[in-house]
Chain A
Amino acid sequence: MLSVTELVKGVLSGNRRHLARLISLIENEDSQAQEALVKLYKHTGKAHVIGVTGPPGSGKSSLVTKLTAEFRKRSKTIGVLCVDPSSPFTGGALLGDRIRMQEHSLDDNVYVRSMGTRGHLGGLSRAASDAIRVIDAFGKDIIFVETVGTGQSEVEIIEVAHTVIVTDVPGSGDDIQAIKAGIMEIADIFVVNKSDYPGADKKVTEINTMLDLDPRERVWRPPVLLTNSRTGEGIAELADKLMEHFNYLKESGLLEQKGLQRSREELQSIMKYKLTQELSHKLQGKPEYEKAIRMIAERKKDPYTVAEQLIAEFLLSEIR
């Protein structure tokens, strides 16, 4: 068993096996993972994190593969994190995104990792943001994060990515779909993939029409690009746009602003998680806790008052 110090040293010096090991520890919520993350934190924040989201079968993995090839030509190193759904019944998962990415599998400058959602909703796994951080510390210039095939409201990707690509394909629903809330609002770049399919231009027009109606005053209007992952059409232009968006974030000060916002949200969510853990640790199995639950179920007490009482007691006991 490797020590945390060895793991951290390995990740910082480019040891892929240590990287793989640490990501597994994070996924398994091992106590060593947090120790390692504490040590790695100051080495993070350098990579350009690009989220790729869109419906199942819209060509996300193929797009990431082509973009990886394009950015490798431009001498960038690449990390890829692909998330696929876990079974709500067995916890098992079939992670198939790697199939499309095998052309890069022997490139030392590309690291691909698959993950199951393990019950987490929102399009990513709970471990995703920490895994991205570790790949960042490992030194990859660009990290692609491919979400599960999304429906309409899995928008968690905006919390971890600097640039979000939303993929769509020709023939997927009418123009009403394009003006619905949710996923259509989070794109920094729209990609209409499979450009050789009939209806590709119509899809581009529908998305552009939707953008014309967007009341937000934005300097960056998301471009709508046509790509074809089979022929490579439009990939170089997409890569240019991705760089352009990252530069825009830097020059406009938005990158800094997003960073602050993200740190605030992350701190809050860690505090919430830790407090909840502490609280349930204290209460779990206590007879009075079980009794209160029973009384709530029997309508003798209400959950709102009981929750307030328990929290008040917890805070008092912590002060003492």
Chain B
Amino acid sequence: MADGQSTDPEAARIEAAVEQPVARGTALLQVRDLKMHFPLTQGILFKKQVGAVKAVDGISFDLNQGETLGIVGESGCGKSTLAKVLMNLERATSGQVLYKGEDIAGVSGRALKAIRRNIQMVFQDPYTSLNPRMTVGDIIGEPYEIHPEVAPKGDRRKAVQDLLDVVGLNPEYINRYPHQFSGGQRQRIGIARGLALKPEIIICDEPVSALDVSVQAQVINLLGGLQQEFNLSYMFIAHDLSIVRHISDRVGVMYLGKMVEIGSDEEIYEHPTHPYTQALLSAVPVPDPSGREGRERIILSGDIPSPANPPSGCRFRTRCWKAQQRCADEEPLLAVPAVFLGLPTAAAHESACHFAEDVDIVGAG
């Protein structure tokens, strides 16, 4: 694809597109029918494919400039795989990822380098995502080795110290090693590294789930402040529904490789129409004991099925209390349900259920 370094027209086109400014609120990243299947093979010498783990199986959504899109779902739903595909850490099986209109799924070489500068990632585990043998200065400054145009050699130390200051760490810590920091401070280092190249999009994969409760709020506040300051767009992947609601403008709910419901935070939390979203919201423990006796919970039976062999039709039907024959035969599409179409209600948002219903759930606030 991108072997011809200097004459590659695709790379040149993407490099040009990346420089284009995008108006606030318009789509920066458009994901269309994205699939990531991991092959399952059998045999040692003559490997033959016997199936595939469909980690991400046909997902479409937009990420708008300046917004935070929250992605929630349980383990195994494919939310982290989605992040990896968007980062080009995994090569998508099929589908498109349009960044400012250019398809970036599976690009390599010069084009990939240009994209990476603009899409950065903050990882979940601040203990394993920092190299223990590198100083904080080297960790945060490493992106400049690959993209020297962002900070010329002489300015790098200053640039790193500025970044430390921006994320609320003492700039004098530049020569320390990761083990000298606490979890929350390490996550700040990870965020500083993500910011180094002045990206437009930061994909945060469970950025606070490894942190103590009292430190989580600090990091959430930091992310919020940075978004304002640097005009960032976030894709915020998490399983903590109340944190996602706090930080997100829109929320997408994933189940077994599919997006089952997507809408504004109010639409999802106040008017969930997909039974899985409803169950998820009602299962979240509410940090308020008053009225706990009267609270009705939807307790799902069973476990999430294997993504290597997902149920036919609607993937949630094996655990769904509304499931009927139609759910096994026909896969529901992610669209505004017909019953709500054109109605002036917050329930009129995209939901992949044949029997979508607006239910009031007293759940994660």
Query: Is chain B a partner of chain A in the same complex?
Result: no
